[in-house]
Amino acid sequence: MGLELVVQTPAQPCPPWPTLREALAQRGLPAQLRMIDGELAFHDEVPPDDWRELRVSLPAGMVTLARTPDTIRCIVWGNADAALQQQWRELAQTIAQLCGGTILATPAETD
């Protein structure tokens, strides 16, 4: 069971991973990729433009980014502590800002 924030993205593509990583670092939130589309990722690996799922390591824990044509779902485990939930929200806000998108609603539970 997890919690998710859904970022509605416009038709334009979101910036690539290095841009997102840099924007997070500027907010004091260092991030590293751990998995790309179900495969382990090297620390300096950049996902392809058509990635479907990323596992992102933040200081407080792991967040999954799952992409559809018009959304990016930001998912954490349901037992995420307050620090991880704060960083999860910052990640979703950063994605929304970079993509010109909107966070659709408050966190929802997901299976």
3-state secondary structure 56-100: EEECCEEEEEEEECCEEEEEEECCCCHHHHHHHHHHHHHHHHHHC
Over range 68-77, report the average pLDDT: 91
In the predicted structure, residue 73 carries a pLDDT above the cut 70: yes
CB neighbours of 79 closer than 8 A, spacing ≥ 6? none
**In 3-state terms, what secondary structure has residue 5?**
strand
Query: Looking at residue 1, what is its pLDDT?
Result: 65
- In this prediction, residue 78 has a pLDDT band, given cuts at 50, 70 and 90, of confident
| pLDDT mean across residues, the chain | 90
| 2-110 maps to CATH 3.30.310 | yes
Maximum separation of any 2 CA atoms in the chain, in Å = 34
Helix (H) or strand (E) holding 110: strand 108-110
In the predicted structure, residue 59 carries a pLDDT above the cut 90: yes
In the predicted structure, residue 18 carries a pLDDT above the cut 70: yes
pTM: 0.90
Residues in a beta bridge with 32: 57
- In this prediction, residue 69 has a pLDDT band, given cuts at 50, 70 and 90, of confident
Distance CA 40, CA 78 (A): 23
Distance CA 110, CA 88 (A): 15
Query: Looking at residue 49, what is its pLDDT?
Result: 86
Query: Looking at residue 108, what is its pLDDT?
Result: 56
